[in-house]
Amino acid sequence: MEGSEQARAHRRLRLQEGTRRLLHGFSRAASSALNLPAGLAVWCHEATDVFGAGRASAWLHDRRSQELVLVATSGTTDVAEGTRLRTDSPQLPAAAMHHDGARVGRGASGQGSLGVLTVPLRGHRRALGVLVLDEVPTSLIEDDDLVAEADELGRQLSAAIENLLLLEDVLKSRRELAHTFDSLEDLVAVCGPGLQVVHVNRTLADRLTLPADRLFGRPLADLLDREAAAWVRSEDLASALRAATPAARELDDATLGGRFTMTLTPLPGPDGRPAGAVFVARDVTNQARLEAERAALQERLTQSEKLAALGQFIAGVAHELNNPLQAVLGHVELLRRQGRIPPGIRRELSLVFREADRAARIVDNLLVFAGGRTATLRPIALNAVVTQTLALRAAACRAAGIDIVRRLDESQPRVAGNRLLLQQALFNVLINAEQELAAWGGGRIEVSTRVPAGGDVVRVQVRDTGPGIAAAALPRLFEPFFTTKDVGRGTGLGLAITYGIVKDHRGTLTAGNHPDGGAVFTIDLPVSRERPRERKKTTTRQRD
């Protein structure tokens, strides 16, 4: 009796030592590469020796499909690794054991004195799988110590498997979080208490063209342009972070390459106090560009609406002026045909007729500008228009102490235009410059023509040496009835009419300030693709 007790104690110690060896081998294999099947494969090969089994296999539970999957086995079987069985399938003892929910089961293997020992694997709240020991001698299966040790092995192995699965879930979540962090389009940096960089996403590292590890530990301000760095270092931002209040600013940053909405959000520590901050820079360069384009489009639309209203007003005035002008022209023409008019008065009547006719043509051009008529565009030499317009203002400029300098490109092509309308447009620009210089005490007006690169337009520039255009007035310069002159000195219509005339010629009119001082008006008119008409040659016949 005493000998049997000693033998049983010795067998129990051997089983306990074998169990520890199995657990140690499983942990070493599974933990080294965080590979659960590799650890179970080691267990299967060593379990046959510990429990006297001919073959060992491990099945894990797939919760989503409610199936058992063979992940490891110690020998050749009719069932290949990766085989799946439903948990309610009676095909294998593994499935039956899992379905019955017993902890340890016994069953005949169909080979006489050999049987099957099944050990369930159960986690804290769910089934993990089952271990199957095949071809175990019946004498061993009937040994309560062996069954108890197998039961204890199942509990310890279940705990180790559950911990490994939890660790794999944590690492998987961390990888997914890191992948998500790196896939963000925004530029993100996690900073410590002193705003030193602790972690950055790939987008920020790529934008700075530096590897992420070279950014760690650097002050956040060192990664930004001057204005953004000053904001990061400001006392206002530091006060906001101490008060656990997010701060935001929209800035241009040449280092990051664009315009960004930058935010710094405090990170609370274990005691609730800020332990750092998260910096996020969202690229709004395209958005800012679209907003600027939308504002410019809205401005052009407003300008068009104002010009349309001005056109209606001018059309009404022009129609009212046209009738008395035609009456004047008719009566003057009748007087000129009278033979009894003295020659001196006849010359004066011719002057009145010529000026009235010019006024009638101006009214006609105003109707064209107002949209009441269509302007006829012909190939014209722009230099001739400039020369004629300057001649009209030469005397007035000399009287005001204003010098006119001309720089005309004689090789320029012709433009498609209406001579009188373009003369009126240039006349308005010159009058505007002349009035500014007269109030300034004199100066110089430079008028130049040239063909810019590309050769599609001819450019006329009028620059004065006056005070220039105020920044507040520049966006509204071509608005109807907007003027910076004193009451009685300007109506606010001249430049608006000029803008409309240039637009009707499919050209552009811009205004700005010269770097050396004074205002600059630039008119670009498209080159005419029509050949100029040739004048008919006149021949004189000699009398016989």
List pLDDT tens digits, range 133-158.
888 887 776 777 777 778 788 888 88
Residue 45 forms part of a structural domain: yes
Neighbours of 73 (CB within 10 A): 22
Tell me the residue type at 422: L
Residue 288 forms part of a structural domain: no
Residue 536 forms part of a structural domain: no
Tally the C-alpha atoms within 13 A of residue 349's C-alpha that lie toward its C-beta. 17
Of 190, 189, 217, 192, the closest CA to residue 276 belongs to: 192
Whether residue 242 sits in one domain with residue 217: yes
Query: According to the model, what pLDDT value does residue 542 have?
Result: 37
143 CB-near residues (< 8 Å, 6+ apart): 11
Whether residue 456 sits in one domain with residue 395: yes
Confidence class for position 430, pLDDT limits 50, 70, 90: very high
Residue 72 forms part of a structural domain: yes
Indicate which CATH number applies to the domain containing 247: 3.30.450.20
Whether residue 188 sits in one domain with residue 175: no
pLDDT of 98 > 70? The answer is no
Q: Please state which of the ranges 290-299, 331-340, 384-393 shows the lowest mean pLDDT.
A: 331-340
Domain of 364 in residue numbering reads as 305-369
Spatial contact of 464 and 519, defined as CB atoms under 8 Å apart: yes
What span, in angstroms and rounded, lies between the C-alpha atoms of 346 and 195?
Answer: 92
Whether residue 170 sits in one domain with residue 23: yes
The chain-wide mean pLDDT, for the chain, equals 80
Whether residue 200 sits in one domain with residue 175: no
pLDDT of 109 > 60? The answer is no
Confidence class for position 487, pLDDT limits 50, 70, 90: very low
Determine whether 509 is exposed, middle or buried from the number of CB atoms within 10 Å of its CB (0-12, 13-18, 19+).
buried
The whole model's pTM is what? 0.45
Residue 504 forms part of a structural domain: yes
Residue range 206-222: mean pLDDT, rounded = 88
Whether residue 209 sits in one domain with residue 245: yes
Tell me the residue type at 504: D
pLDDT of 459 > 80? The answer is yes
Tally the C-alpha atoms within 13 A of residue 541's C-alpha that lie toward its C-beta. 2
Tell me the residue type at 128: L
Whether residue 316 sits in one domain with residue 270: no
pLDDT of 187 > 80? The answer is yes
Number of domains forming the structure of the chain: 4
What span, in angstroms and rounded, lies between the C-alpha atoms of 424 and 73?
Answer: 99
Tally the C-alpha atoms within 13 A of residue 271's C-alpha that lie toward its C-beta. 4
Residue range 323-337: mean pLDDT, rounded = 81
Neighbours of 146 (CB within 10 A): 22
**pLDDT tens per residue, range 56-76:** 888 888 888 888 888 888 876
Whether residue 164 sits in one domain with residue 127: yes
Whether residue 166 sits in one domain with residue 19: yes
Whether residue 202 sits in one domain with residue 87: no
Percent of the chain with pLDDT over 90: 18
Neighbours of 65 (CB within 10 A): 11
Q: Which backbone phi and psi does 21 adopt, to 5 degrees?
A: -65, -40
Percent of the chain with pLDDT over 70: 82
Spatial contact of 522 and 459, defined as CB atoms under 8 Å apart: yes
Indicate which CATH number applies to the domain containing 482: 3.30.565.10
Residue 488 forms part of a structural domain: yes
Query: According to the model, what pLDDT value does residue 103 have?
Result: 46
Tally the C-alpha atoms within 13 A of residue 412's C-alpha that lie toward its C-beta. 29
Whether residue 494 sits in one domain with residue 473: yes
Residue 259 forms part of a structural domain: yes
Spatial contact of 256 and 187, defined as CB atoms under 8 Å apart: yes
Last residue of a domain, one of 179, 208, 237: 179
Residue 538 forms part of a structural domain: no
pLDDT of 541 > 50? The answer is no
Whether residue 129 sits in one domain with residue 27: yes
Last residue of a domain, one of 149, 179, 209: 179
